[in-house]
Amino acid sequence: MKSLRLSVAGFGVVGQGFIELLYNKQDYLRQMYDIDARLVGVGNARHGFIYREDGLDVPTVLELGASKRPLTDYERTRHWDTILEGLQETGANVLVEATSTNLRDAEPALSHIVTALRLGAHVVTANKGPGALAGLELLALARQQGVQLRMESSVMAGTPVISTILEGMAGARIQAVRGILNGTTNYILTAMAGGREYAEVLAEAQELGYAETDPTADVEGYDALAKTLILAGLVFNQPLKQEQVALKGITGVTLDDVRKAASAGKRIKLIASLRRNGDELEASVSPQALALDDPLARIDGATNALAIQADTLSEVTISGPGAGAISTAQGLLADVLACAR
């Protein structure tokens, strides 16, 4: 039996979802993969980092999260005021990074990841900041340290696009990818195609928890932009900066635009696109009117999708959930198992 000791940075929707999934799957992981995965550390912004060398009791940890009590209420654990200090002084085999995304400087995730890699731990992350701002540098550091850095759930959550492209389609030269990478905006555009006004649908999406109180990151396209930057580095090996991606969100899309597109037999979707043009990589995030025979035109609601064009496979399209606690945790779990392999 292979034993894995995991620390989780970030104890919000995804961090707690991952810990719950790991716990619910423990027997299955033993049976199917011969892996005994144990949670040894967990931390957040408010309470810092707690750690137990022989493993934390998961129901106790989850109960603290559910009852919104501080992690420090868990007795007989070692404690540091910040996750970073805790990571520097403890040694898990795998760091699961699930703190909030920050597209300005990727912190604190960037420091968490660099620290763990330098200590010789594998890292799996759902966070978009590090992959978008420093993906290739971090992968180079991981290689140098002889460990893995994986970020499946940073793009389309647990729906496997990065591993499908890098592993399933290994050897294929990717010419272009086009995707619906943000569920909130697709939910809004789908409802508008049904005749509803933007403002009304946005308010509904906020009530349902699909959209944040401040929806800027989604509706202005920044979330899709971050995922586009991650794919530029990982899939095309060409790091791009935010300014190199032509960006337009959906706030300017009117019901009239959607109706006109429909009468021309088209659907408006927020499309993230990366395409090789000679040595250049052209990148954009913008609303586009797609003909109904386009595989992305009929991707509705909060679903995400990516269409991949390669030299050896004309077009492969993957669609599935792009958010949610367990869907995202699934991507982290798959990455943890890949590290164990």
Ligand X SMILES: NC(=O)c1ccc[n+]([C@@H]2O[C@H](COP(=O)([O-])OP(=O)(O)OC[C@H]3O[C@@H](n4cnc5c(N)ncnc54)[C@H](OP(=O)(O)O)[C@@H]3O)[C@@H](O)[C@H]2O)c1
Q: Which residues are catalytic?
A: 227
Of 87-95, 144-152, 253-261, 322-330, the window that binds ligand X (rule: CB under 6 A) is: 322-330
148 binds ligand X (CB under 6 A): no
157 binds ligand X (CB under 6 A): yes
Q: How far is the CB of 291 from ligand X (least distance, A)?
A: 30
Cβ distance to ligand X smaller for residue 201 or 332: 332
Q: How far is the CB of 292 from ligand X (least distance, A)?
A: 29
Cβ distance to ligand X smaller for residue 210 or 236: 210
Cβ distance to ligand X smaller for residue 160 or 324: 324
Which residues, other chains included, contact 185 with Cβ-Cβ below 8 Å and sequence gap of 6+? 218, 219, 221, 224, 249, 250, 270
Please pick, from the candidates 22, 61, 77, 108, the single residue that binds ligand X as defined by CB under 6 A.
Answer: 108
Q: Do 90 and 40 contact (CB within 8 A), yes or no?
A: yes
10 binds ligand X (CB under 6 A): yes
How many CA atoms are closer than 13 Å to the CA of 205, on its beta-carbon side? 28
Q: Identify the three-state secondary structure at position 286.
A: strand
Q: How far is the CB of 92 from ligand X (least distance, A)?
A: 16
178-214 as b/e: b if 16+ CB within 10 A: bbbbbbbbbbbbbbbbeeeebeebbeebeeeebbeee
100 residue type, one letter: S
Please pick, from the candidates 202, 211, 240, 323, the single residue that binds ligand X as defined by CB under 6 A.
Answer: 323
How many CA atoms are closer than 13 Å to the CA of 277, on its beta-carbon side? 7
Q: Identify the three-state secondary structure at position 285.
A: strand
Please pick, from the candidates 14, 219, 272, 333, the single residue that binds ligand X as defined by CB under 6 A.
Answer: 14
Q: How far is the CB of 102 from ligand X (least distance, A)?
A: 8
46 binds ligand X (CB under 6 A): yes
Q: Identify the three-state secondary structure at position 52.
A: coil
100 binds ligand X (CB under 6 A): yes
Q: How far apart are CA 65 and CA 239, in angstroms?
A: 37
Q: How far is the CB of 326 from ligand X (least distance, A)?
A: 9
272 binds ligand X (CB under 6 A): no
Please pick, from the candidates 101, 185, 186, 288, the single residue that binds ligand X as defined by CB under 6 A.
Answer: 101
Residue nearest to ligand X (CB): 12
Q: Do 229 and 136 contact (CB within 8 A), yes or no?
A: no
* Helices vs. strands in the chain: H and E counts, helices first: 13, 13
Interface contacts to ligand X, rule CB under 6 A: 10-15, 44-46, 83, 98-101, 108, 126-128, 153-154, 157, 323-324, 328
